[in-house]
Homo-oligomer: A and B are copies of this chain.
Amino acid sequence: MYPFTADVYAAKNRWYVASFSRDVSRKPVERWILDEPVVLYRKKDGSAVALEGRCAHRHFPLAEGTLVGNSIQCPYHGFVYGPDGRNERIPSQDRPSARCSIKAFPVQEKWRWIWIWMGDPALADISLIPNHGEIGLEDPSLTTDEILHEEFEARYQLIHDNLMDLTHVAFLHRNTLGGGSDDTASAEFLERDGDGWMEGERTIRNVPTIPHFAGYLGYDGLCDRIIGQRFYLPALHFGWDRYVYPEGHEQAGTTFGKLLVYHGITPARRNSSHYFFAIARDFGREAQEQMRAATSAVIQEDVWGLSHVERVIRSFGGTPPPEFSARADTHQLKARRKLEAMIVDEQQALGA
């Protein structure tokens, strides 16, 4: 399926963001993840539970049900499932049935999001979750905020494509981040690879400070910006945007502001996705609402644009005409290949 050559579309034995913490409570909520219905709720001790979102009996969506202690009861015939997915009660008979169980998905709550493992629970290796210390989410000197969860009609690969080619910033975000300049697109680009991730970084010199942020940064002159992004395959992008006084300034080379961004990308269905966006920053701490509005506006531009691309692809029956790739797409194409290889490897391991 475009943009992959195989029909596979996503790796299952990996961690994905299922939700922001704040959206999971004692009121069950349904999320489709990797084409499976999931119901999320919290036990009485506050820990998160993720179960198959469908009663094993007659397919009723469990998110419409009610919690009974740490268990969930289907609203159709009253079947009850424990947080481990095991049937605990069938009202029409004396005993529950061991055969009547639903999947329980491993979850890990870190920072303010809930990671889920949709594949084989036996393989759920916590060390595969990106290290939250490395990416600033445990740094008390930063203000973090969950900005937006959007479920929308676009295959998840389009979001990765978008994030792996930041030359779009000057255009798609020209009214917000881009500042009207297209220097981003032509700036020098440095690539690095690590264990489970790949990243790219650009330094753009002598550009205006982003109007959105200038007030909070207390500086509206020209600056250098160091913009980078690391892709922890297959589910999280961690980005940084550092503002540095430019050559000629008395503090040339000093960083006067730092914005970190986190894009959790989770396939909902083959052609729709969840976008979980969060930020951390060392400026504008007092202006939470304004920062939310400003950064949310940026991601909404991506959602708008990728929905359009998805629409065009579907208009061609899912197989668009051949695409042209520029030299700057090398980084993106490498990410596509890594992602597809991860999926193919998983398929082969399952088949072996």
Query: Is B75 within 8 A of A305, CB to CB?
Result: yes
Which B residues are CB-close (under 8 A) to A312?
Answer: 37, 54, 59-61
**A35-B315, A60-B309, A64-B305 provided; 17 other pairs, C-beta below 8 A?**
A37-B315, A54-B321, A57-B326, A59-B313, A61-B312, A75-B172, A76-B168, A76-B171, A76-B305, A76-B309, A77-B167, A77-B172, A77-B185, A78-B167, A90-B326, A90-B328, A100-B326
A320 to B36, CA, bound (A): 11
A92 in the interface (beta carbon within 8 A): yes
Which residues A1-57 have CB closer than 8 A to chain B? 32, 35, 37, 54, 56-57
A35 to B314, CA, bound (A): 12
A147 to B259, CA, bound (A): 54
A285 in the interface (beta carbon within 8 A): no
A172 to B79, CA, bound (A): 12
A137 to B319, CA, bound (A): 42
Closest to A90 in B: B326
Which B residues are CB-close (under 8 A) to A64?
Answer: 305, 308
**What are 9 contact pairs spanning A and B, CB under 8 A?**
A54-B312, A56-B323, A59-B323, A73-B171, A75-B171, A77-B168, A78-B170, A92-B328, A99-B324
A349 to B324, CA, bound (A): 30
Which residues A161-210 have CB closer than 8 A to chain B? 161, 165, 167-168, 170-172, 174, 182, 185-186
Copy number in this complex?
A: 3
A348 in the interface (beta carbon within 8 A): no
Which B residues are CB-close (under 8 A) to A92?
Answer: 167, 185-186, 326-328
The 8 A CB mask of A284-322 against B (1 = contact, 0 = none) is: 000000000000000000000100110111010000110
A74 in the interface (beta carbon within 8 A): yes
Query: Is B308 within 8 A of A60, CB to CB?
Result: yes
Which residues A75-123 have CB closer than 8 A to chain B? 75-78, 90-93, 97, 99-100
Q: Out of B32, B60, B185, B309, name the residue touching A305 (CB < 8 Å).
A: B60
Query: Is A326 within 8 A of B93, CB to CB?
Result: yes
Closest to A269 in B: B315
